[in-house]
Structure formats: structure tokens, C-alpha cells
Amino acid sequence: MYDRIKGFRDFYPGEMAARRASIDTLEDTARGYGFREIGTPALERAEMWTDKSGDDIVEELYSFEDQGGRHVTLTPELTPTVARMVVAKQQELSKPIKWFSTRPFWRYEQVQQGRQREFYQTNVDIFGSSEPEADAEILAWAADALTNLGLTDEHFEFRISHRDILGGVLETYDADVDIDDAIRAVDKSDKLSTAEYHDLLIGAGLTADQAVEFDELVGGGDLAEVKAFANTERVTAAVENLQNVLDAADDFGAREYCTISLETARGLDYYTGVVFECFDSAGEVSRSIFGGGRYDDLIESFGGQPTPAVGVAPGHATLALLCQRAGVWPDEEVTTDYYVLQIGDTRPEAARITRELRERGHVVETDVAGRSFGSQLNYADSINAETVVIAGEQDLANDEVTIKDMNSGDQMQVPVEEFPGEYERPTFADFDS
């Protein structure tokens, strides 16, 4: 026996059926907004990450040297890849560019609840618009995707902030403050004690008193108070932009899910404006469900023309936890519309019925293992077949087949030429008159 590698998961048919239903919901919602699906490679040059984050990030990557001597890595996230794709065809692509994809990613990190080393995300991004409506559309898509899964405002909330509010407030302190380090501390604050959080802020350059003051100001989430404290052009513009996004989200139907939370920072350095994270309202899922925000400088940093961008990336592991806690996760079971059961030498007629039912878009199985009547019936039950069509030698000699409703156990004979006949989805009830 070979053991499964730690941090990687198997998905058996029942689990995969539920995952497929949830993925289809997210993707169908994206298509309804006009987002277009893209496909991206599993392998990229490791320099796409080391050039921006330093060589230390290699410890978090599944990276190696390939036979051509290139330093490559399994992709740990999608954003650099889509940035590369936009740069490659920037002049040809109609703006705004609206893309989505669902795929796996790989990070060598500690395995914990909702976090594996191989994980799946649905990424949804808009490139080419700096307007508040673009941010609001990302929020609206996320809200619609979650409610289409069966969730309500009792189950989730979006905590929304603006990076320039945090950066602008920090600029009012000593010039030696490392703003990026301080924002990373804010991003970790909900996982730390107050003392640990303040120590990180002090490590970023604030004094002890300033750390307390900053914590209270940001934790209060009062935009008017923030503007009064840091009455600068940067903070004023950021507060106005955040309010404009929330106003647009109101028109788009997503405002009710949004809560201003200036402690929401997003740890990645490439975020530039509005940022948000989705949380379980009940607090039962111990981490954010997913996050997103604006990253206006990334395309230019990859060698492209300045291109504003905003996006979000729900992770399917944490999303499943939220749906399971809320009781809306799809049933983890396979379903089958019809099982065509064969008794004796009836393959030609059984195959004809099977083909015609499949042509009408149904899920249909038939025997491919030469099993007995009882074994076939047990198998039909195991795959949750709704209707069993019994094509037996005696039935066909009488120009009939037997229709069995698997829920009730009722069955009856019907003329073989009438099945499936004119019915799009024939069941026992259609013939029980």
C-alpha cells in the first residue's frame, strides 16, 4: 500500500459530486456576470515569486530545477499568472478584462483546518477599470455566489477596508515606520493577543503609546474619526473611495453583507486599495473563508502598461466548511436517473433504451459485468437509481419491459415500443393510470 501524501486529498464520487455542484454554482454565477473562463498552467518560473518576495519564499513553494535547468514551481496562487497573461496580450484584449477559473494550487505550509498543501480556488478578476463599480461587482458576484449556494446574511459577512486608510494613518507617525510591516501586523491582529499585536507594531517603528493609539483608532472603524485624526489627501481620498464602493455595492445588492472593518488588511503587498475578507458570521469557522481586493500596480510590475485590477478567490476547502456549518452543503452522494437491468440475452433492446434515455440528457447505467438479477438490483440501489427498467427475456417475448420505482418499490409492465416513447423523462407515474 502507498500512503497519500500529507496535505493532499482524495475525493471519492460522493464528495466530488458535492464539490462539483458547488463549483458549478460559483462558475455559473460568474458566467452570468459576463466573466470568461480561462485555463492556466500548473507550472511557472519560480522567479515570478522570488523576484518580488525574495528567495526565502522558496520554502513555501513546491519548486525544483527542471531538465532544462529552469527554476520552476507549482503555482501557489493565480494572480501573478493572470498578470503575465494580461501583459502578453495587453493590446489585443478588450477592456475591461473579466476572467475566472477554478483550479488547484500548491503551497508547502502547515496543514490545518481548511488549509491543505494542494488546494482549490475559483478566481474572479476584473482588469482595466479603476471605478468603484468594478470593486462593487466583485463584491456582488461573491454575495450572489454564496447566496446561490443557499447561504444568507445570517451565515456570512464581508469585512471591508482600504489599504490607503491604514497606510495614510501610519504616515502621520514617525517617518521611520515600516508601513508594510505595520499593515502585515494589522492583518495578523485577530490571531494575536493585544500584547503580541502591539509588539509587532512597535517592531514596525511605532512607539508603545502610538501602538495603543493606532490600535484603538483602527479597531473603532469610525471613518469620520479616522479622517479627523489623519486629515491628509491620501486618507481623505481613500475614505471617499471606500464609501463610493459601498454605495455602488448597495445598488448592486451586496451592501447588506458588508461591514467596515479597518483591521482587515490582507497580508500580500500587492494590494493597493479596497480589500475585503469573508467571514463566518457565527464565528464557527476559525479563519476567513476567502478574501480579495484591488491590486492596481501588479500588471505594471510585470512589465505591462499601468492597468487597474480587482479580484477575489474563494477557496473551496473553507467554503465547504461554511456551507457544512450552515447546513447547505450539497448531499455527498451519487445520483442516477435510470438503471437498465438485463436478464438473459437482451443486450440489443437494453442498449437501445439506454441510448435513447441518454440522448434525452439523463444519467443512465446498464450492466457491463454480466451480473445476476439480484446483483444488478443491489447495484442500482447503491447508485441511488430513481427508476429501474427491467429488460428481461420473458418481458421482451411479450413486447414489454418492467418499470420499477426504486423509492416506493412499485413496478409494472409497459409496452416496449412506448418506452421511452414520447416522454422526455418517463417514470412509473407516467404509466400508472
120 appears as a binding residue in the annotation: no
CB distance 168 to 238 below 8 Å: yes
CB distance 22 to 127 below 8 Å: no
In the DSSP assignment, the letter for residue 327 is T
d(CA 156, CA 160): 13
Q: Which residues contact 216 (CB under 8 A, 6 or more apart)?
A: none
Query: What is the SS3 assignment for 103?
Result: strand
40 appears as a binding residue in the annotation: no
45 appears as a binding residue in the annotation: no
In the DSSP assignment, the letter for residue 28 is H
Pick the closest to residue 320 from 124, 104, 121 (CA basis). Answer: 121
347 appears as a binding residue in the annotation: no
107 appears as a binding residue in the annotation: yes
Angle 291-317-280 from CA coordinates, rounded to 5°: 55
Cell 447546513 sits at which residue?
Answer: 327
In the DSSP assignment, the letter for residue 191 is G
270 appears as a binding residue in the annotation: yes
20 appears as a binding residue in the annotation: no
Q: Which residues contact 30 (CB under 8 A, 6 or more apart)?
A: 37, 100, 122, 124, 141, 145
d(CA 281, CA 283): 5
Q: How far is CA 243 from the centre of its chain?
A: 26
d(CA 304, CA 82): 12
Query: Which residues belong to the annotated binding site?
Result: 77-79, 107, 121, 125, 266, 270-271
Binding residues for L-histidine: 77-79, 107, 121, 125, 266, 270-271
